[in-house]
Structure 1
Amino acid sequence: MIVSQAFTAKRYCILGLARSGLATLDALMASGAQCTIWDSREEAREAALACHPDAVAGDPMEIDLTGFDGLIVSPGVPLNRHPVADRARAAGVAIIGDIELFALARPCLPPHRVVGITGTNGKSTTTALIHHILHVAGVPAAMGGNIGLPILSQAPLAANGSATGVYVLELSSYQIDLTFSLDCDVAVLLNITPDHLDRYDGFAGYCASKARLFSMQQGDHPAVIACDDEPSCAIAASLNHVITVHAADINPADQAAWPSLQGPHNAQNVAVALAVTEALGVDAAKARAALASYSSLPHRMERVAEHNGVLYVNDSKATNPASTAPALAAYPRIHWIVGGLPKGDSLDECAPFFGHVVEAYTIGEAGPVFADQLGAHMPVTRAEMMDTAVRAAMANALPGDTVLLSPACASFDQFRDFEARGDSFRQIVAALVTAQTEDARAKDNVR
């Protein structure tokens, strides 16, 4: 894990004991800090105290926060409406996240560089792709942040010969809101479309959150920005040291050789990743050669099976229509499983690719509304449940078709999170493929 003398004898209150909260507690206690912890789940508090008996349980809504060096909150805490924000401000306590702690720890780490990646869609893929290219090129690298790997739990990077280590961080707008001193050697913006507007003062506030990543950069550290949308272009125009790229920079004929990087959205991810690794000094030929060996992340256009000529793709991480649209663009004949907890009532951002959809299978809370919308454009099966949807799609799909879970919705109506939703899809597909295979073998034996 990452430890630092910057935290020794400091006092912190940690609100939220999920993955990043626990990693933060581990790092701070190992650094000699004093920690007060809280989570609404009693079992989470008990487990944390069992590992760190010197920590103290205390609800930040009840204890006196005066004198703490920071209130460390989970990015999921809505600071625009959670009362703990006012309590911390009244006590003069900074509200920060684990990324800010990483920024404060950097002077104690071996020489390194940091790449910070934000944007509405494509962050995880681009983060993993940059990490993959660096690894193939022999550059020590670690990835963390919003991709699900707490950066404070990573081992500090040491140089490999003359190659300085690189921390590759996926940063959500929520994490940027809790960060104030992260000077990225390369900062990245992929795209901006409306999302999370319940946390901001309109779309302009959301854009401003993304732009703060670049305001923290010092000197001549470059920004890499994909200028395929107007808000991103506006941010690029405000910066001095900027490298602009476009999805159209990638030749579709070249892209065909990268099996896990199909579709126009991945063209943007590739263009950004190549620009970033070039800025870090990676040989361009080595970087492009690494693209062919990249494997999709779980739940992001993940190829989970191919059976009887039909491809099954898990894109459960597509939790809004803007994220689903590129998946629809990537395949010519799609059986589309869509629905969940909606972030809005419209699928308009997906509409340009409705012609690729052979049939839609609606699930979850959004199912009835989406079925009514889509019925004018394509056949629709009102499946409601994932199992029903997969069975119907498998029965209807022909060789050359793709069965695509790309819900355009959050998962919380039926599943714990998007990972659980994607795991369910994967397990149902595997079970049905196995059943069909065994049935075919049984028929062959009868003959």
Structure 2
Amino acid sequence: MIVSRAWAGKRYAVLGLARSGAATVRALLSGGASVVAWDSDAAKREHILPGTAQQVDHAPHDRGLSGGQSDLLRRTGKDMVVADLDTLDLTPFDALVVSPGVPVNTHPLAARARDAGVPIIGDIELFAQARADLPPHRVVGITGTNGKSTTTALVHHILDTAGIPARMGGNIGLPILAQEPLPDGGVYVLELSSYQIDLTRTLDCDVAVLLNVTPDHLDRYDGFDAYADAKARLFAMQSPRHAAIVAIGDAASARIARGLSSRGAALTKIAPGVCLDQSRWPSLQGPHNAQNALAAITACEALGLTAVQIDRGLETFAGLPHRMERVAVVDGVTYVNDSKATNPDSVAPALAAFPRIHWIVGGRAKGDDLDACLPQIGHVARAYTIGEAGPRFAEVLRPYVDVSEAGTLEAAVAQAAAAASAGDVVLLSPAAASFDQFRDYEHRGAAFRAAVEALT
């Protein structure tokens, strides 16, 4: 795992013990820190320290452990207590480490930390602090409302196929602190959400990429401009000599690029509508993937890769599950899982990628409109609405296209299969969150795959 000598002897409070939180605890303990950790989920507490699922420790933060220690704690001999952080004085702590999903704008513990003058950080900031202890390396940071997972995975794949040691983390894959350090010359490729950037103070990316900024997560920000400013902080943390890559296809991103204009040659702007020959890249179809590919190409060029190395990676990239993923072809109809498209702006490029679509849309809406999708509505033969947003989305779409209020994903797949003809595409691209009917977008995508498999 990745650790830092700078953590030794310090005290950290860790809120949230899912994958990134658990990795954070283990890394801090291995680095010589003292940790008080908490999660409201008893199963997560039990996993990080057996014997604590039912028993809440209200002891002071500097109490040592006397028993019930996990193998990790016996092996490292470090100090950890599982305790409800709401019962503790945060003043003695060096930082409160929270998972990105914790709403720091409204969470009372975050307010208490700010009142106590305790920094609120995340695992990416801890990675930034650990960089001085790692072999010489470079970091690529990629953010944007849409496309960042594909672009991050693509950059990582190009590096991997070129034989350059690389790790992928952040908002994708394994938590970065849980991964083994790279050898000399390696590259860490990080997908960074606005939430993660909010919790980061010192990450100086050798290459920083912004793909786009469109309305999303506005419940966490004081308006759209504040959300855009969160994205822009990726560049504010960066040394001016390091490469900044900004796609300027929307007004907010163009404004951020103008603010970086003094960087000169270190700034690369990607204009919208650039034509690329995507015929040799089977998993990178559609105009949105043209932009993702161009951003990845530019980032890899900044890292010194050759055109031959980059082309090889583009041609062999397999894409990501749940993002424009071809699930099957049944009776000449192609079924595409785009479950990760959870807002209208991320759906619009998918609608543009195919000429005749049976569109499955709905879930827990992030807004009342589908305006971003309407320019591509001519590609839709019929829409099938599902979930909480189904009735509202049906109302929005009926002036433009035939609509079936299917209700469930299984019903939508069955109805679309009955109506589609050879050459058509049945596309799950929901423009909404999944939490009304599924655990997450991955669960929704898996249900789509199962429904398609049931057709045969």
Matched residue type, 2:397: L
Please say if residues 411 and 418 of structure 1, whose CA atoms lie closer than 8 Å, have aligned partners that are also in contact. Answer: yes
Aligned equivalent of 2:289: 266
Rounded Cα–Cα distance in structure 2 between residues aligned with 1:247 and 1:153: 37
Aligned equivalent of 1:84: 109
Aligned equivalent of 2:10: 10
- Structure 2 length-normalised TM: 0.92
Aligned equivalent of 1:57: 82
Rounded Cα–Cα distance in structure 2 between residues aligned with 1:59 and 1:13: 10
Aligned equivalent of 1:445: none
Q: What is the CA-CA distance between 1:219 and the residue it aligns to?
A: 4.1
Q: What is the CA-CA distance between 1:47 and the residue it aligns to?
A: 1.3
Aligned equivalent of 1:187: 208
Q: Which residue among 238, 242, 245 is the counterpart of 1:217? A: 238
Matched residue type, 1:109: L
Equivalent residues in 2 for 1:324-339, closer than 5 Å:
324-339=347-362
Aligned equivalent of 1:94: 119
Whether 1:293 and 2:316 are equivalent positions in the alignment is yes
Aligned equivalent of 1:142: 167
Please say if residues 250 and 271 of structure 1, whose CA atoms lie closer than 8 Å, have aligned partners that are also in contact. Answer: no
Per-residue CA deviations over 1:169-227 (Å, capped at 9, x if unaligned) read 00000000000000000110000111111111111100110111101011400101111
Q: What is the CA-CA distance between 1:229 and the residue it aligns to?
A: 1.2
Rounded Cα–Cα distance in structure 1 between residues aligned with 2:154 and 2:226: 29
Whether 1:174 and 2:199 are equivalent positions in the alignment is no
Q: Which moved more, 1:353-362 or 1:26-35?
A: 26-35
Matched residue of 1:344: which SS? coil
Matched residue type, 1:353: Q
Q: What is the CA-CA distance between 1:249 and the residue it aligns to?
A: 3.0
Q: Which residue among 177, 186, 198 is the counterpart of 1:165? A: 186
Please say if residues 2 and 152 of structure 1, whose CA atoms lie closer than 8 Å, have aligned partners that are also in contact. Answer: yes
Per-residue CA deviations over 1:103-123 (Å, capped at 9, x if unaligned) read 000000000000000000000
Aligned equivalent of 2:134: 109
Per-residue CA deviations over 1:356-408 (Å, capped at 9, x if unaligned) read 01111100000001111111211111110111011111111111011100000
* Structure 1 residues 219 and 371: CA distance shift in structure 2, 3 A: closer
Please say if residues 208 and 245 of structure 2, whose CA atoms lie closer than 8 Å, have aligned partners that are also in contact. Answer: yes
Q: Which moved more, 1:82-91 or 1:337-346?
A: 82-91
Q: Which residue among 246, 249, 257 is the counterpart of 1:228? A: 249
Per-residue CA deviations over 1:235-267 (Å, capped at 9, x if unaligned) read 11111131111343342xx11221100000001
Matched residue type, 2:183: A
* Structure 1 residues 247 and 136: CA distance shift in structure 2, 3 A: farther
Please say if residues 161 and 312 of structure 2, whose CA atoms lie closer than 8 Å, have aligned partners that are also in contact. Answer: no
Rounded Cα–Cα distance in structure 1 between residues aligned with 2:272 and 2:176: 29
Matched residue of 1:61: which SS? helix
Please say if residues 115 and 184 of structure 1, whose CA atoms lie closer than 8 Å, have aligned partners that are also in contact. Answer: yes
Aligned equivalent of 1:439: none
Matched residue type, 1:217: Q
Aligned equivalent of 2:385: 362
Rounded Cα–Cα distance in structure 1 between residues aligned with 2:32 and 2:12: 11
Rounded Cα–Cα distance in structure 2 between residues aligned with 1:44 and 1:149: 17
Q: What is the CA-CA distance between 1:3 and the residue it aligns to?
A: 1.6
Aligned equivalent of 1:30: 30
Kindly tell me the number of residue pairs found equivalent between the two proteins: 427
Rounded Cα–Cα distance in structure 2 between residues aligned with 1:94 and 1:117: 24
Whether 1:375 and 2:427 are equivalent positions in the alignment is no
Rounded Cα–Cα distance in structure 1 between residues aligned with 2:304 and 2:292: 18
Aligned equivalent of 2:53: none
Whether 1:417 and 2:431 are equivalent positions in the alignment is no
Matched residue of 1:134: which SS? helix
Matched residue of 2:86: which SS? coil
Matched residue type, 1:258: W
Whether 1:69 and 2:90 are equivalent positions in the alignment is no
Aligned equivalent of 1:303: 326
Please say if residues 316 and 418 of structure 1, whose CA atoms lie closer than 8 Å, have aligned partners that are also in contact. Answer: yes
Q: Which moved more, 1:167-176 or 1:64-73?
A: 64-73
Rounded Cα–Cα distance in structure 2 between residues aligned with 1:171 and 1:38: 24
Structure 1: give runs of 5+ residues left out of the alignment. 434-447
Per-residue CA deviations over 1:6-57 (Å, capped at 9, x if unaligned) read 2122111110111111111121112221111111111211111124555211
Q: What is the CA-CA distance between 1:317 and the residue it aligns to?
A: 0.4
Q: What is the CA-CA distance between 1:136 and the residue it aligns to?
A: 1.2
Matched residue of 1:93: which SS? coil
Per-residue CA deviations over 1:90-142 (Å, capped at 9, x if unaligned) read 22211000000000000000000000000000000000000011111111111
Whether 1:205 and 2:226 are equivalent positions in the alignment is yes
Rounded Cα–Cα distance in structure 1 between residues aligned with 2:194 and 2:292: 18
Matched residue of 2:85: which SS? coil
Please say if residues 117 and 170 of structure 1, whose CA atoms lie closer than 8 Å, have aligned partners that are also in contact. Answer: yes
- Structure 1 length-normalised TM: 0.94
